[in-house]
């Protein structure tokens, strides 16, 4: 069922771009009527269950499969011995693979929780039982446990991430005020409520094999490419279907080992295979945000004006894959600083390759920087807001390019006014509410504008409806809704007349829904296709001999589903009547925005199936970013040291908002995730087995309703014509950036305790 088939009337007037529409798929989701990947009815499917390694490093000597193979209902037992390797796929950048083969099941163990075998059976229970009957003999080797393990050493420098201007060392040495501190964040996990998993189904067409994958996906075209390369199929023979996603937060953009395993099993059995990861398996099905450590040194004048920033960052990565969590990304653009030095190292440890979690880089980067700025404010006796204004960057300090738009000053002002910041007393422990210590903290955040070309098809139908089609997916962001708004506005029909098809790789192409780029680029593509379709329609109306509007004017307007002369004089004709009169079923336009990115037709496939054409925020004449300022009140129980967030006011600049209600909801979601990150979330790694001990939602804590206070979100953005076709900047990841330091700073204000490691838990506050 398409979200737009729902009987509810969502909107009356004014439902174009910028309108506060309720999300069109909302009612379906609340009623449980949306079918997620694993809910899809597929006839004759069988079930696969994975077995995971219980040691972090070494080799599998043997897996005893006899008992599992003989268990009731078992169809297939897959081990590294019995599973032939696939062809290796190119990287997400489109680089050719380094090895010719890809082993989704391997003898070599690189992390605890690595998938090492699978059992496939008629029922889930039978497969679960069979997987439990597999007996594994290992040859264990010593493991590098975590970022703190001395065996990891200082890590490998990532030179492309280094940034340097002026002379930071000399300026630091000469600075009257110096702040030096180290900040740390633990492993964090995306923990979308919908588990990872898929249904893999092989078929045949006239040319040979086809593969259909029903799997939640932030990037249908990229994942379809990977499956195609693994199995040596033409890209068109793989179909990825992902109409709804129960959250991804960065974890669902790539085809993963469990996907390969399910597809191999389905091919061997000639039956569709369903594989759902259990919650513990999700912790190593795709990596979370790696643990990070950063050493920051700020040099400043007595007044707190920055003279230098030196930053050194380390993040853990896997042994055979480099994942960078760029800790200097916010550091380099937030403040006007004449001398700067930033370096990044990755430390390989025995872990699943870490991955993308909401604002990779900017999030821990802003945590360190915005805490250090607060420390500087206290060192020089300045208000934390005043010191940020004193160091306000009027242009990008690194590239010296002008900002496209930067309404951070306005965000500070609006946030401070709504929060009542001027009523704050500066000294730590100076505000109370009975037995509670009250703390007011603030911090700024940012996220870059990323850009890739998009593609969309818009079809105006004989019944007056408008169809929009794109392989882009909606993981809860509201994409269905805003793309309908774009098409409605550009064609000239009410949103209620728009039908959207998304989340199918057979549809016109879309790049990854990541880096908060999707809304901006797809709004541009849908707008372009919809305008082209409207032009077609107008051309038909003016020139077709049977059109009632033939020759009435040079051009026509389309509004409310009716065509008329520009000033409304003369006849008006509904779209449906026009198509009927002219004998047409539809008028359609397929458009991409490649040319805007200076890409030709040859780049079409690469643009959508790799991230190699994604443009940097400083590619062009401007430096383009979204900005935000968080103001947060905490209450800390003096005796028990429990921390509650009591109030959040956040002001943000994401340019034009396509749908302010949805954009605010995105920012709130980021803030809620940030509260979890600051007070609750921590993947605890067992020092002996390098296993994440709390790999379930009972022990890995994420916020619940009771943890979340009133959150007020204020938009201060203005349309940014450089950032995107319609003037919006990214929203999805911005809200989480700066929440952790705002809370940490509030906890300092409440208690006088400066904790430099997340999460801020009561044992650390007592300790
Ligand atoms: N929006 C808007 N005006 C703008 C920009 C965006 O109204 N100028 C609104 C729209 O409703 C749009 C949404 O914000 O659908 C997000 O747009 P955008 O910032 O372009 O982000 P993407 O569409 O690329 O979505 C991905 C982004 C990322 S990278 C992560 S991580 C994340 C996020 O979105 N994961 C999410 N938000 C999430 N929200 C939900 N519910 N679930 C996730 O997994
Ligand atoms: Mo978002 S972490 O870029 O999917």
For ligand 2, whether the C-beta of 250 sits within 6 Å is: yes
Q: Does the Cβ of 363 fall within 6 Å of ligand 1? A: no
- Containing H/E element for 369? helix 362-380
Neighbouring residues of 392: CB distance < 8 A, sequence distance ≥ 6: 335, 336, 408, 409
- pLDDT, residue 645, reads 98
Alpha-carbon 361 to chain mean position: 12
Non-local (6+) Cβ contacts of 201 within 8 A are 42, 45, 211, 212, 213, 214, 266, 272, 273
651 by DSSP, 3-state: which? strand
- Ligand 2 pocket test, pick from 733, 734, 736, 737 with the greatest ligand atom count within 8 Å of Cβ, gives 733
Q: Is the CB of 287 under 6 A from ligand 1?
A: no
Does the Cβ of 475 fall within 6 Å of ligand 1?
yes
Contact 42, 214 (CB under 8 A): yes
Please tell me if the CB atom of residue 360 comes closer than 6 angstroms to any atom of ligand 2: yes
Under DSSP, is residue 378 helix (H, G, I), strand (E, B) or coil? helix
Ligand minimally distant from the alpha carbon of residue 288: 2
Q: Is the CB of 729 under 6 A from ligand 2?
A: no
CA atoms within 13 A on the CB side of 623: 19
| Closest ligand to Cα 719 | 1
Ligand 1 centroid–CA 732 distance in Å is 4
DSSP lists the bridge partners of residue 312 as 295, 343
Rounded to whole angstroms, how far apart are CA atoms 547 and 62?
Answer: 76
- In angstroms, the Cα distances linking 285 to 81, 224, 319, 341, 353 are 21, 18, 16, 36, 10
Question: Which atom from ligand 2 is nearest to the alpha carbon of 358?
Answer: 2
pLDDT of residue 567: 85
Taking the centre of ligand 1 as the mean of its atom positions, its distance from the CA of residue 708, in whole angstroms, is 21
For 535-584, write each residue's pLDDT tens digit.
999 999 999 999 999 989 899 999 999 999 988 788 999 999 999 999 99
Coil vs helix vs strand at 116:
strand
Distances (CA, A) of 713 to 478, 629, 660, 669, 737: 17, 10, 10, 11, 14
Mutation to probe ligand 2, out of 247, 250, 287 (largest number of atoms < 8 A from CB)? 250
Separate counts of helices (H) and strands (E) for the chain: 17, 30
Query: Can you give the pLDDT at residue 39?
Result: 94
Assess whether the C-beta atom of 473 lies below 6 angstroms from ligand 2: no
How many Cβ atoms are within 10 Å of 152's Cβ, its own excluded?
19
Distances, alpha carbon 427 to alpha carbons 126, 424, 575, 645, 743, in Å: 63, 9, 67, 19, 16
196 lines ligand 1 (CB under 6 A): no
Ligand 2 atom index nearest CA of 512: 4
Q: Can you tell me the distance from the alpha carbon of 398 to that of 601, in angstroms, rounded to the nearest whole number? A: 34
Nearest CA to ligand 1 atom 8: 728
Residue with tokens 């797809």: 522
The number of the ligand 1 atom at minimal distance from the alpha carbon of 250 is 31
Sheet holding 557-559, edge to edge: 557-559, 562-564, 573-574
Q: Which residues of the chain have pLDDT under 70?
A: 1-13
Strand arrangement, sheet containing 455-461: 498-501, 466-469, 455-461, 586-592
| Nearest CA owner, ligand 1 atom 4 | 657
* Number of the ligand closest to the Cα of 659: 1
Nearest ligand, measured from the Cα of 732: 1
Give the mutation target among 515, 731, 733 for probing the ligand 1 site: most ligand atoms within 8 A of CB. Answer: 731
Atom of ligand 1 nearest to the CA of 514: 29
Answer for the pair 331, 292: CB distance below 8 angstroms, yes or no.
Answer: no
**Is the CB of residue 662 below 6 angstroms from any atom belonging to ligand 1?**
yes
Ligand 2 atom at shortest distance from the alpha carbon of 250? 4
611 Cβ below 6 A of ligand 2: no
Least Cα distance to 558 among 592, 532, 580 occurs for 532
Q: Is the peptide bond between 759 and the residue preceding it cis, with omega within 30 degrees of 0?
A: yes
DSSP 381: T
Output the CA–CA distances (angstroms, integers) from residue 430 to 402, 495, 527, 646, in the order listed: 40, 53, 53, 17
530 CB-side CA count, 13 A: 29
Q: What is the pLDDT of residues 173-217, one digit of tens each?
A: 999 999 999 999 999 999 999 999 999 999 999 999 999 999 999
Alpha helix ranges (H) inside 479-594: 479-491, 518-543, 575-582
Query: Closest by alpha carbon to 455, among 659, 558, 586, 599?
Result: 599
Q: Which residues contact 125 (CB under 8 A, 6 or more apart)?
A: none
212's CB contacts (< 8 A; 6+ apart) are: 200, 201, 202, 203, 238, 239, 241
φ/ψ bin of 716: left (φ > 0), alpha (ψ from -120 to 50), beta (otherwise): alpha
Residues 359/736, Cβ–Cβ less than 8 Å: yes
Distance between Cα 329 and ligand 1 center (Å)? 20
Residue found by looking up tokens 């032009």 in the block: 535
Quick check: CB of 515 below 6 Å from ligand 1? yes
Question: Which residues are CB-neighbours of 164 under 8 A, at least 6 positions away?
Answer: 340, 341, 342
Cβ–Cβ under 8 Å, residues 533 and 461: no
730 lines ligand 2 (CB under 6 A): no
- To test ligand 2's pocket by mutation, which of 247, 326, 358 has the most ligand atoms within 8 angstroms of CB? 358
For 121, half-sphere exposure in the C-beta direction (CA atoms, 13 angstrom radius) is: 21
Query: Is the shortest distance between the CB of 479 and ligand 1 below 6 Å?
Result: yes
Contact 631, 421 (CB under 8 A): yes
> How remote is the CA of residue 520 from the centroid of ligand 2, in Å?
15
Q: Relative to the CA of 733, which ligand 2 atom is closest?
A: 1
Q: What ligand has the least distance to the C-alpha of 245?
A: 1
| Whether 733 is catalytic | yes
Q: Calculate the dihedral angle through the C-alpha atoms of 320, 323, 328, 330, rounding to the nearest 10 degrees.
A: 180
- Tokens found for residue 733: 């990841």
Residue 24: both structure tokens together: 């069109």
User: How many whole angstroms separate alpha carbon 151 and alpha carbon 523?
Assistant: 49
Do the beta carbons of residue 429 and residue 398 sit within 8 Å?
Answer: no
pTM for this predicted structure = 0.97
Question: Rounded distance, CA 235 to CA 224, Å?
Answer: 7
- How far apart CA 305 and CA 284 sit, in angstroms, is 44
Give the tokens for residue 192.
Answer: 């979308």
Q: Ligand 2, atom 4: nearest CA belongs to which residue?
A: 250
**What is the whole-number distance in angstroms between the Cα of residue 109 and the centre of ligand 1?**
36
Check if 450 has its Cβ closer than 6 Å to any atom of ligand 2.
Answer: no
Sequence-distant (6+) residues with CB within 8 A of 251 are 190, 192, 196, 286, 288, 355, 356, 357
| Cα separation of the two ends of the chain | 54
DSSP conformational letter for 129: H
Residue 750: CB partners within 8 Å, gap ≥ 6? 428, 429, 431, 437, 438, 439, 634, 635, 636
CA distance 374 to 377: 5
Give the nearest ligand 2 atom to 732 CA: 1
Kindly state if the Cβ of 655 falls inside 6 Å of ligand 2. no
Task: Catalytic residue, from 101, 638, 733, 757: name it.
Answer: 733
Q: Model confidence over 286-298: pLDDT tens digits?
A: 999 999 999 999 9
- Nearest ligand to the CA atom of 248: 1
- CA-angle at 578, arms to 573 and 581, nearest 5°: 125
CA distances from 48 to 231, 274, 279, 666 (A): 19, 6, 15, 35
Q: Is the dihedral of CA 567, 569, 574, 575 positive or negative?
A: negative
Cα(648) to ligand 2 centroid in Å equals: 24
The answer to whether the CB of 545 falls within 8 A of the CB of 551 is no
């Amino acid at each position: 069922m398409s979200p737009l088939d729902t009987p509810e009337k969502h909107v009356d007037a004014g439902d174009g771009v910028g309108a506060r529409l309720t999300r069109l798929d909302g009612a379906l989701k609340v009623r449980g009527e949306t079918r997620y990947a694993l809910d899809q009815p597929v006839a004759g499917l069988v079930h696969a269950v994975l077995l995971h390694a219980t040691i972090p490093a070494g080799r599998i000597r043997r897996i005893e499969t006899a008992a599992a193979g003989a268990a009731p209902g078992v169809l297939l037992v897959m081990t590294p011995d019995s599973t032939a390797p696939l062809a290796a796929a190119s990287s997400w950048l489109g680089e050719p693979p380094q090895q010719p083969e890809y082993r989704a099941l391997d003898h070599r163990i690189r992390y605890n929780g690595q998938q090492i075998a699978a059992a496939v059976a008629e029922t889930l229970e039978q497969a679960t039982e069979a997987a439990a009957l597999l007996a594994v003999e290992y040859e264990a080797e010593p493991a590098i446990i975590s970022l703190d393990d001395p065996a990891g050493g200082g890590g490998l420098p990532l030179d492309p991430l280094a940034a340097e201007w002026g002379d930071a060392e000399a300026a630091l040495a000469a600075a009257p005020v110096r702040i030096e501190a180290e900040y740390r964040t633990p492993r964090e996990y995306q923990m979308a409520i919908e588990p990872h998993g898929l249904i893999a189904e092989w078929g045949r067409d006239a040319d040979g094999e086809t593969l259909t994958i029903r799997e939640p996906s932030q990037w249908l075209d990229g994942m379809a490419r990977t499956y195609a390369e693994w199995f040596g199929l033409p890209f068109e023979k793989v179909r990825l279907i992902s109409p709804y996603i129960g959250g991804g937060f960065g974890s669902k953009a790539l085809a993963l080992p469990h996907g390969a395993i399910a597809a191999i099993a389905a091919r061997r059995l000639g039956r569709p295979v369903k594989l759902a990861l259990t919650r513990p398996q999700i912790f190593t099905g795709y990596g979370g945000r790696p643990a990070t450590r950063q050493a920051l040194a700020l040099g400043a004048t007595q007044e707190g004006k920055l003279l230098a920033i030196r930053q050194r960052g380390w993040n853990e990565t896997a042994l055979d894959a480099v994942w960078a969590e760029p800790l200097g990304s916010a550091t380099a653009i937030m403040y006007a600083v004449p001398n700067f030095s930033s370096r990044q190292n990755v430390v390989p440890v025995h872990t699943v390759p870490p991955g993308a979690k909401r604002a990779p880089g900017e999030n821990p980067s802003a945590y360190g920087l915005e805490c250090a700025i607060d420390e500087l404010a206290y060192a020089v006796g300045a208000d934390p807001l005043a010191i940020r204004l004193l160091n306000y960057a009027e242009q990008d300090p690194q590239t010296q390019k002008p900002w496209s738009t930067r309404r951070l000053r306005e965000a500070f002002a609006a946030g401070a006014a709504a929060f009542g910041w001027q009523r704050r007393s500066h000294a730590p422990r100076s505000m109370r509410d009975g037995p509670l210590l009250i703390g007011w903290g603030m911090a700024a955040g940012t996220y870059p504008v990323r850009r890739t070309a998009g593609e969309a098809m818009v079809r105006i139908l004989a019944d007056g409806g408008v169809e929009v089609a794109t392989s882009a997916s909606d993981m809860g962001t509201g994409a269905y809704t805003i793309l309908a708004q774009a098409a409605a506005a550009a064609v000239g029909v009410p949103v209620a007349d728009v039908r959207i098809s998304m989340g199918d790789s057979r549809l016109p192409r879309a790049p990854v829904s990541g880096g908060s780029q999707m809304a901006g680029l797809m709004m541009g593509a849908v707008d372009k296709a919809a305008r082209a379709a409207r032009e077609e329609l107008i051309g038909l109306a003016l020139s077709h001999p049977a059109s009632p509007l033939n020759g009435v004017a040079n051009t026509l307007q389309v509004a409310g589903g009716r065509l008329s002369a520009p000033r409304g004089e003369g006849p008006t004709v509904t779209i449906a009547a026009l198509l009927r009169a002219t004998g047409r079923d539809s008028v359609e336009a397929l458009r991409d925005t490649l040319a805007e990115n200076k890409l030709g037709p040859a780049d079409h496939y690469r643009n959508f199936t790799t991230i190699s054409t994604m443009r940097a925020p400083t590619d062009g004449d401007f430096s383009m970013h979204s900005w935000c300022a968080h103001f947060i009140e905490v209450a800390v129980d003096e005796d028990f040291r429990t921390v509650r967030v009591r109030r959040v006011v956040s002001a943000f600049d994401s340019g034009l908002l396509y749908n302010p209600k949805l954009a605010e909801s995105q920012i709130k979601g980021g803030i809620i995730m940030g509260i979890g990150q600051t007070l609750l979330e921590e993947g605890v790694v067992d020092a002996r087995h390098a296993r994440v001990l709390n790999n379930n939602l009972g022990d890995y804590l994420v916020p619940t309703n009771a943890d979340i206070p009133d959150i007020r979100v204020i938009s201060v953005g203005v349309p940014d014509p450089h950032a995107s076709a319609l003037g919006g900047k990214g929203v999805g990841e911005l809200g989480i950036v700066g929440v952790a330091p705002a809370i940490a700073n509030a906890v300092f204000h409440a208690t006088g305790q400066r904790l430099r490691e997340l999460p801020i838990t009561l044992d650390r506050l007592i300790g």
